[in-house]
Amino acid sequence: MRRQQPIPVLRCALAALLAMAAHVSADMAAERAGMLQAISASVADTAYYTGRKTLGDNVMAAMGAVPREEFVLPDYRHAAYRNTALPIAAGQTISQPLIVALMTDLLDPQPTDVMLEVGTGSGYQAAVLAQLVKHVYSVEIVAELADGAARVLRELGYDNVTVRAGDGYAGWPEHAPFDGIIVTAGAPHIPQPLLDQLKPGGKLVIPVDNEEGHQDLLLIEKDAGGKPVERDVLPVRFVPLTGER
C-alpha cells in the first residue's frame, strides 16, 4: 500500500504560520516601544503643567505590557499604539496613552492597593492598573461597555479586575475605602461620594469642568485628617460623566 506523506506539508504550513506570528509579534513589539517613546516625549513636553518630566518605571512597564489592540474596535487595531484617543463601542473613546499613563502615575499605585475606576470604557485603563495593584473595581454606566470590557479582561487573564454596570457617581461603597480612585469622564464637580470613599492618604484623579467651559485634570489627596487637598495638573478633554449629579 502506498504511504501518504502529509506530515512534511503540514510542517511547512506550521513553520510558515509560526514565522508569520513571530513577524507580527515583532512588529507589535516595535509599535509598543514606539508608543512608550511617544509617551515619554509628551510627558517631557507637558512637564510645565504637570511637574513631571518622567513617569515611574513601573507605570511605563505596565503600559508596555498591556495589549492595547485588544481594547479597540477591529477597524482600529492597526492604530492601537498611536499616542491618540481612538473610537470604541457605544460612541465612546479609549483615552490617549499619554493620559492613561499620566493618570496612573498620579495615583502612585502600590502592589497592595485597592483602586476604584469610574468609567470602565473598553477596560484598557483597568488593565494597566491591574498590572500594578492588588485589585481594581470598575464601574461603567453603559451596560454594553461594561459587558464587553469584563469579557476582554477575563479572556486576557486579568482576574484582579471586577467590573459592573452602574452609576459611578456613587462609587462602589461595598468595597470602600479605596487607596486610589480614577475617573475617566469629565465631571461638573468632584462627586462627594467618591471623596467619602477615599482613604486618608489616598488619591483621586478626575477631570472636572472649569469656569471657562473646559476641563482640568485634578489630583485630590486626602491628608491624614481626611481633608482633601486639590491640585490642578493639566488641561484635558474627556467625554462627560453621566448619571446622578
Catalytic residues: 95
> What are the two backbone dihedrals, phi and then psi, of residue 152, each rounded to the nearest 5 degrees?
-65, -45
For residue 91 the three cell numbers come to 460612541
Task: Give the C-alpha separation, 66 to 58, whole Å.
Answer: 13
DSSP letters for 8-45: HHHHHHHHHHHHHHHHHHHHHHHHHHHHHHHHHHHHHH
Residues 132, 104: contact at Cβ < 8 Å? Answer: yes
Task: Give the C-alpha separation, 40 to 139, whole Å.
Answer: 29
Instruction: List C-alpha distances in Å: 220 to 177, 214, 231, 241.
Output: 15, 19, 6, 18
The rounded radius of gyration (Å) of the Cα atoms in the chain is 20
Task: Give the C-alpha separation, 49 to 64, whole Å.
Answer: 24
Say how many Å lie between the first and final Cα of the chain, rounded: 80
Give SS3 for 230: strand
Residues 105, 56: contact at Cβ < 8 Å? Answer: yes
Residues 99, 236: contact at Cβ < 8 Å? Answer: yes
